[in-house]
């Protein structure tokens, strides 16, 4: 299968990470932190610029809480995001408002963000969805000096802006996710980057004490990570048989680590004080050391899709800056029926077509905290018609699969509506 998970993880990274952890112990956290900082062109010696957390949402929660925003403060979010982002602000008791994405992009424009900022706005989450960079942060910071701009870099490890600066270093702060489907994975994990020196000093005085994950938690994360990696190795018949065999016992034993349905619904909070285990950090380290090769592969695969899908009526994809490193290759199809038919056809060829994000507040069925239907028509359109093609180590397509992708696009393209 060619899919979207564990896209930078090799099997040999796992025993190498275990050996590193056995030798270095807790120091594996610092080893990974330093390597991740270098991948962003940051100096690892700068105290507090990069911090590791048990999840990206925990990093965002800790940073926002440290700001001590006054009552009545408002947060702006993109009208195309994951539910864990607005849930952070719901749990902190902050009001949120959504800014629609552009028709030809998966992010809001800087002008749309600027126009949406009100007298109550104190924080703006600036997305880089799929690794596509939202430019113009320098101007936004100058125009709105009382607003804190936080980059959602969960999809964008390695992407750079028009002048070559890495995503995660453009705003006051940024958060990254190391979840299974992200460009670099530790199973579950995340990082906070505070690039603004004054903000970094403020955060240092308010940094929460993080709890080390339990052995059981780490084991579940590791087993789930191995399962996801395995799904990228097995042929479809073997994977289907193994899935059927293991589904019931894995549920009974509770060995799958995933976001609980109750958290997606907004009924429960995650553990925002969770830290990253040193073994998980060692797994991340094995990938962070190879960042140049990982990013180069994704750029080459995206360029190949560009060439493969050129001159197709009905299939749209956003203009991509040269510095972008895509998490997935996103397309907009004419309508939901065309998208669903294309997904089924890709699946028949052993290619997993994704539907991130399938709602303005992904996933479909979430509480959509403070969102009202119709607020973001372009985000809603994207949610209905988006199709992702896989990138990464395990997404290399055969010649027959490449031909099939082109044929599927021609068959299910239709006309723009």
Residue 398 in any domain: the answer is: yes
- Residues 308, 197 share a domain: no
User: Does the structure show a pLDDT above 60 at 160?
Assistant: yes
- Domain of residue 157: give its range: 13-206
What count of other Cβ atoms lies within 10 Å of the Cβ of residue 30?
15
Is the residue at 257 inside a domain? no
Q: What is the mean pLDDT of residues 288-315?
A: 94
Exposed/middle/buried for 273, CB within 10 Å: 0-12, 13-18, 19+? middle
Q: What is the pLDDT of residue 257?
A: 59
**223 within a domain of the structure (yes/no):** no
The closest of 190, 182, 188 to 217, measured between CA atoms, is: 188
Single residue among 206, 221, 244 that ends a domain in this structure: 206
Q: Are residues 190 and 309 in the same domain?
A: no
Q: Does 32 have pLDDT greater than 80? A: yes
- Is residue 401 in some structural domain? yes
User: Which one of 153, 184, 206 terminates a domain?
Assistant: 206
258 catalytic residue (yes or no) = no
What phi, psi does 77 have (nearest 5°)?
A: -125, 155
Measured over the CA atoms of residue 365, residue 370, residue 373 and residue 375, the dihedral's sign is negative
Instruction: Count up the domains in the chain and report the number.
Output: 2
Range 210-239 average pLDDT: 86
CA dist., res. 379 & res. 371, Å (int) = 12
Q: Please give the Cα distance from 268 to 256 (Å, whole number).
A: 18
Rounded distance between C-alpha atoms, residue 222 and residue 58, angstroms: 19
Residue 303 belongs to domain with CATH number: 3.90.1150.10
> Is residue 211, in this structure, part of any structural domain at all?
no
Same domain? For 332 and 194 the reply is: no
Per-residue model confidence (pLDDT) at position 235: 74
Q: Tell me the three state secondary structure of residue 247.
A: helix
pLDDT for 417 = 31
Task: Let me know if residue 31 belongs to a domain.
Answer: yes
Residue where a domain terminates, one of 153, 180, 206: 206
Q: What percent of the chain shows pLDDT beyond 90?
A: 83
Q: Which of 182, 200, 299, 339 is catalytic?
A: 182
Q: Stretch 191-210: mean pLDDT, rounded?
A: 94
pLDDT tier, 266 (very low <50, low <70, confident <90, very high otherwise) = confident
- Per-residue pLDDT of 80-106, as tens digits, reads 999 999 999 999 999 999 999 999 999
Verify that 61 and 187 share a domain, yes or no: yes
Q: What is the mean pLDDT of residues 120-127?
A: 98
Element (H, E) at 127: strand 121-127
CA atoms within 13 A on the CB side of 217: 17
- 198's CB contacts (< 8 A; 6+ apart) are none
CATH label of the domain that carries residue 28? 3.40.640.10
Contacts of 398 (CB under 8 A, 6+ apart): none
Q: What is the DSSP letter of 99?
A: E
Tokens of 192: 């906070």
Q: Is residue 213 part of a domain?
A: no
**47 touches 203 (CB < 8 A):** no
Q: How far apart are the first and last CA of the chain?
A: 32
Lowest mean per-residue pLDDT among 145-149, 254-258, 308-312, 411-415: 254-258
Contact 383, 356 (CB under 8 A): no
């Amino acid at each position: 299968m060619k899919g979207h998970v564990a896209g930078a993880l090799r099997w040999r990274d796992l025993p190498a990470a275990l050996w590193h952890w056995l030798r270095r112990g807790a120091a594996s956290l610092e080893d990974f932190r330093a390597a991740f900082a270098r991948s962003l062109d940051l100096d690892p010696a700068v105290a507090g610029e990069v911090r590791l957390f048990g999840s990206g949402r925990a990093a965002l929660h800790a940073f926002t809480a440290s700001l001590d925003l006054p009552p009545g403060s408002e947060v702006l979010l993109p009208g195309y995001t994951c539910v864990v982002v607005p849930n952070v602000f719901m749990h902190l008791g902050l009001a949120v408002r959504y800014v629609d994405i552009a028709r030809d992009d998966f992010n809001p424009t800087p002008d749309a963000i600027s126009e949406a900022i009100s007298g109550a706005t104190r924080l703006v989450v600036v997305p880089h969805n799929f690794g596509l960079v939202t430019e113009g942060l320098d101007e936004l910071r100058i125009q709105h000096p009382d607003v804190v701009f936080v980059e959602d870099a969960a999809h964008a490890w390695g992407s750079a802006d028009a002048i070559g600066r890495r995503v995660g270093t453009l705003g006051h702060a940024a958060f990254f996710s190391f979840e299974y489907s992200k460009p670099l994975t530790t199973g579950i994990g995340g990082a906070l980057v505070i690039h603004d020196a004054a903000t970094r000093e403020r955060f240092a005085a308010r940094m929460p004490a993080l709890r080390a994950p339990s052995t059981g938690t780490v084991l579940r994360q590791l087993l789930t990570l191995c399962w996801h990696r395995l799904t990228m190795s097995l042929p479809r018949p073997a994977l289907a048989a193994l899935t059927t065999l293991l589904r019931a016992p894995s549920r009974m034993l509770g060995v799958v680590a995933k976001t609980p349905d109750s958290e997606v619904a907004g009924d429960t909070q995650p553990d925002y004080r969770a830290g990253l285990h040193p073994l998980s950090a060692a797994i991340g380290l094995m990938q962070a050391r190879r960042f140049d090769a990982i990013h180069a592969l994704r750029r080459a695969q995206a360029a190949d899709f560009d060439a493969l899908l050129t001159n197709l009526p009905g299939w749209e994809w956003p203009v991509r800056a040269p510095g972008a490193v895509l998490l997935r290759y996103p397309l907009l199809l004419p309508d939901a029926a065309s998208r669903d038919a294309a997904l089924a056809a890709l699946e028949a060829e052993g290619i997993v077509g994704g539907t991130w994000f399938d709602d303005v507040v992904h996933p479909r069925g979430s509480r959509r905290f403070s969102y009202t239907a119709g607020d973001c028509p372009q985000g809603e359109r994207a949610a209905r018609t988006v199709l992702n093609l896989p990138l990464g180590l395990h997404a290399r397509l055969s010649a027959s699969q490449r031909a099939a992708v082109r044929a599927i696009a021609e068959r299910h393209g239709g006309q723009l509506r």
